[in-house]
Structure formats: structure tokens, C-alpha cells
Amino acid sequence: MSNAQLTVPFDEAMTRYEPIIGLEVHVELGTNSKMFCSCATAFGAPPNTQVCPVCLGLPGSMPVLNKVAVESTIRIGLALNCEIATWCRFARKNYFYPDMPKDYQVSQYDEPLCTNGWLDVTVATDDGPQVVRVEIERVHMEEDTGKLTHAGGATGRIHGADYSLVDYNRAGIPLIEIVTKTVIGTGPLAPAVARAYVAELRDVMRALGVSDVRMEEGSLRCDVNLSLNEPGAGWGTRSETKNVNSLRSVERAVHSEIERQAGVLDGGGRVIQETRHFHEDTGRSTSGRSKEQAEDYRYFPEPDLVPIAPTRSWVEELRAELPEVPSVKRARLQSTWGINEFELATLVNAGAVELVESSIAAGVDPAAARKWWTGELLRVANERGVELADLPVTATQIARVESLIADGSLNDKLARQVFEGVLAGEGDVDVVIAQRGLAVVSDDGALLAAIDEALAAQPDVVEKIKSGKIQAAGAIVGAVMKTTKGQADAAKVRALLLDRLGVSE
């Protein structure tokens, strides 16, 4: 029924409703061991090979808190301008679902480690970049859950499944939940603000080095809360959309939920408080269970873990060691690289800032580094539907290609073919060049032979050139580039052929 529901086009919805959004982002920390036990945390390990009595919830086992997880959480809190609690505890969130073998998840409830912060994000508008301050309600620690695979049904989803299979490798991995306060007043920018916030948060996590923040591997996950305010009628009921697993999906989830809720309200219906599931393929969400109330989780202080009381000296020590925040860093890079706001925004949106930076560090000219990452490589990333950073190309490889262009061994066209080979997994730059036989033909003899052949094949063109129509030389250059499979320097071919015909420019 939810699929067949009437929706209102976004622009039209915006004329009548004001979106109110809230974002809950879960970040898996990149610690060596789990939150409360010493099990390893490697992604993709064979099922149930990183488990112990604690994370399996075996009787008598006792959790002990990972110090690095606490440190990372404090650093995240500080980077997000939060206050750090002087004393706080863990709580048990009780629920029955096989993703947690204990039948509860250890989390923080009314005593989060970090509270009241903010993060400024920049979105592009018709009037140029606009800064929006997203306020942070809390940053708290919890443990990740196990991974369920639903089996037996035709769809792989729980409806129709006969049973489920559980892998507890992920259970107990440190998870940080970052919750915003409600974000109001963004109007039609709401989808872009949501995306920019998650992107900025990801960059902050990367800068802190606390997580690899790979959305496709689930180490950064986003839930989108949204309600519509009808001016005069008050705030509406909010829905929570889960399973939003890419930056693009964050934007699409907000967009489609605005259209859906506007449809419900326009049709005289009532938005119900529920969990919805976002589907990457359709860009829309479907209704899930209606949300359990907080009291249904029967939170109570975790008796097996002692309170955390970070000393102020520890907090200040961590604050002093914080890296440059991404927004400050970007302003610095913008002036160092001599680029404008728009060029910077292109790099940020493409997730290319760090990649360009490391390419420059590897010796690539700044303009060339930007050209590759926001041009050819971005095109391939989009085509493959992956993040730029996940392309199998390194800064060193770009530096190598650029140095070969500089010494005349490669031209732009050949360089693109080199990257094509590198991206296809054919090997490193020099291996691809050797195997594909990619090199600018610099041997004048070979070039002259190709030129003579082209000249002989097109006597009419030769006459034109001789009679002064030098622009006709393009046809000969084209023919030579074709015979040399693009492996010649076009300017050189042109100079040689004009010389051959005794014509000067």
C-alpha cells in the first residue's frame, strides 16, 4: 500500500510544507579490538571467527571497556564542539532479537559521554555557498550487533524467510551514535543539508583517524528522521528512515520522504510514527515496524561496567592533539592551491580533497591532480557507483603518469588509457604501458614514414596546404594519429609534416 501511495512533487511540497530533519549517524570505530572484549574487528573475516564468551553473551563473562574507544569518542565529541561529561554510565537496552545474543545491547541512555555540540556544513545554492550550522544533541557509545542473513525465502528479506543465520563477528564492535538536534529552516535545501552534514561528519572522522567510515561496508550508517511542518498547523509526526547507505541516498531519502509525507497530508491522511526502510534501487522507502517506545527497552544502568569519569586533564590532552578540522583545512588548501569556492566545492562534493592533497604530496602538479580526480577518475567512479577513494588508483601512480607526460613519453590520450588499464587491474602504470604498448612515438623516422604515407594518400589535401590553407594540415595529423593509434604527439606531427612540405606557418 505504501508503494501505491500518492506523492507530491518536491517543488510543490515545498510551497506548502517546511521539512524538519534530524539525523542519527552510527560510526564503527576502527579499534583493534571490540568494545568490551579482546576479539578482533577485521571486516570480512569468516563468520563467527571473532567471538568470545563476552560478545556471545555466555553466562559468567564480564565486559571490560576498551580505552581507545573512550578516547576516540571524546575526540569525536571535541571535534564536534561538544561538552564532555565528567561522569557517565552505560545502560542496558533490553530487546529480544537474535542480533544480540545477550538479549540486550550495551549502550548509553540518559548519560551520554558528549553533549551539545555543532558542526558547520556548506551547501551550494543559486546564490553561492551557504553555511548551515547543524547542532549536535549527543554523541554516545554503544556496541554493534551481529549480522543476520535471512534464509529460505525467495527474497532474502525477512518476510517469506524460513529462518535466519547469525554471524556474531560484528557484535560488540565499538559503535558511536551521533544525534543531531532538529534541523529547521532549511526549506528546499533540506536534502542537500542532510547530505552535506553526513559528508562533513565523514571527513571529520577521517581527519581524526577514528574510523574508516566506509558507508558501503557499513562503518558509517545514517538514519533520517523527518517530519513536515505545515505553517499554522504545527509540527507533524516524524518517521525514521533506516538503511540509508550512501551520501547520495541520504539526499534521496530526505527528498522522497518529503514527497511521501506531503502526499499523505494532502490526501487528508495522518503520518504515522514508524521506522521505514530505504531501498537503494528505487530511491524510495517502505514501511517497517512501528517504533517501540523508549520505555519498552527498559533501560537500566549496566551493572557489569563501572562509570566513566574522564579527568579534565585527559580531555584537555586529547583536545590539544586534535588534528586540523576539515573546514579549516579546506580554507587553507583553497588559498594554497589558488582555487575558487566553486572549484573547492567540486573537490569536496567529489570526496577528492584528500586524494588531491596526497597526489600533490606525491609530486603531482596541483592543477593536474585536480584535473585527474575530478575528471576522468570521477567519471569512472560514478560509472562504477563507488566512492572516488575506493578506486584502485594511488597518488604514486598519478605522479608516475604525470612525469611520463612531462618528459613526452605519454600524451593525455595515452594517459587515460594507462588509467583505464590500472583501473581494470592490469597492473601498475609501467606494467600497463608495457603490456598495452602505450608510448608516444617519438622516433622521427617512424613518424615521417607515417606522415609520408598520409601525404601520399591525400594529394588534394597536400595541394591545399601548399596553396596556403595550412588549417587543412589537420586532416593529415588526424590520419597520422590514427596510424600510430594515438601514440604520437599531435603538435610534433604537425610541425614535421609542414616542414616536409616546405610550408611555414
Partner 1 sequence: MTAITRDEVAHLAKLARLDLSGAELDHYAGQLAVILQSVARIGEVAADDIPPTSHPVPVENVFRDDIAMPGLDRAEVLAAAPATEDHRFRVPRILDEEEA
Minimum gap (Å) between residue 114 Cβ and partner 1:
17
| Partner in contact with 40, chosen from partner 1, Zn ion, none, beta carbon below 5 to 8 Å by kind | partner 1
Distance of CA 317 to the CA centre of its chain: 30
In 3D space, the residue among 68, 85, 61, 1 whose CA is nearest the CA of residue 31 turns out to be 68
Distances (CA, A) of 19 to 111, 119, 155, 429: 29, 20, 34, 49
Binding mask 26-55 for partner 1 (x = CB under 8 A): -----xxx---xxxxx----xxxxxxxx-x
Which of the listed partners (Zn ion, partner 1, none) does 338 bind, with a CB threshold of 5 to 8 Å by partner kind?
none
Contact 121, 251 (CB under 8 A): no
Residues near 344 by Cβ (< 8 Å), separated by ≥ 6?
330, 333, 334
> Contact region for partner 1 (CB under 8 A) — 127-135, 140-148, 227-235, 325-333?
140-148
Contact 174, 66 (CB under 8 A): yes
In one-letter notation, the amino acid at residue 66 is N
Q: Which amino acid is at 329?
A: K
Nearer of residues 2 and 125 to partner 1, judged by Cβ: 2
Sorted by sequence, the CB contacts under 8 Å of residue 311 that are 6+ apart come out as none
* Minimum distance, C-beta of residue 168 to partner 1, in the bound complex (Å): 7
Q: For the CB of residue 6, give the shortest distance to partner 1 in the complex, in Å.
A: 23
Q: Nearest approach, Cβ of 49 to Zn ion (angstroms)?
A: 11
Which residues, 6 or more positions from 44, have their beta carbon under 8 angstroms from its beta carbon?
none
Would you give the binding string for Zn ion spanning residues 210-249, x where CB under 5 A is met? ----------------------------------------
Q: Does residue 418 contact residue 434 with C-beta atoms inside 8 Å?
A: no
Q: Does the protein bind partner 1 through residue 179 (CB under 8 A)?
A: no
1/174 Cα distance (integer angstroms)? 38
Among Zn ion, partner 1, none, what does residue 97 contact (CB within 5–8 Å per kind)? partner 1
Minimum distance of partner 1 from residue 406's CB (angstroms): 45
308 touches which of Zn ion, partner 1, none (CB within 5 to 8 A by kind)? partner 1
Using the rule CB under 8 A, is 59 a contact of partner 1?
Answer: no
Tell which one of 14, 124, 148, 439 touches partner 1 (CB under 8 A). 148
For cell 545474543, the residue is 101
67 vs 270, which CB is nearer to partner 1? 67
Cell readout for 438 is 602505450
Rule CB under 8 A: choose which of 5, 120, 150, 409 binds partner 1.
150
Segment interacting with partner 1 (CB under 8 A) among 117-125, 141-149, 185-193, 487-495: 141-149
Among 5, 116, 130, 164, the residue binding partner 1 under the rule CB under 8 A is: 164
104 binding partner 1? (CB under 8 A): no
* Alpha-carbon span 258 to 277, nearest angstrom: 15
CA 307 vs CA 10, 77, 179, 451: distances in Å: 47, 18, 22, 81
Residue 290 C-beta: closest distance to partner 1, Å: 10
Q: What is residue 327's DSSP assignment? A: H
The reply on whether position 296 binds partner 1 by CB under 8 A is yes
CA–CA dist 236, 224 (Å, integer)? 15
By C-beta, is 55 or 415 nearer to Zn ion?
A: 55
Q: How many CA atoms, within 13 angstroms, populate the side-chain half-sphere of residue 198? A: 31
* Site track 34-53 with Zn ion (rule: CB under 5 A), x = hit: ---x-x------------x-
Q: Who's near 234: CB < 8 A, 6+ residues apart?
A: none
Nearest one of 381, 322, 331, 380 to 353, comparing CA atoms: 331
161 counts as binding partner 1 under rule CB under 8 A: yes
| Cβ distance to partner 1 smaller for residue 149 or 382 | 149
Query: Is residue 289 close enough to count as binding partner 1 by CB under 8 A?
Result: yes
Residues that bind partner 1 (CB under 8 A): 31-33, 37-41, 46-53, 55-56, 64-70, 87, 89, 94-99, 145, 147-152, 157-158, 161-168, 275, 277, 288-289, 296, 298, 301, 303, 305-310
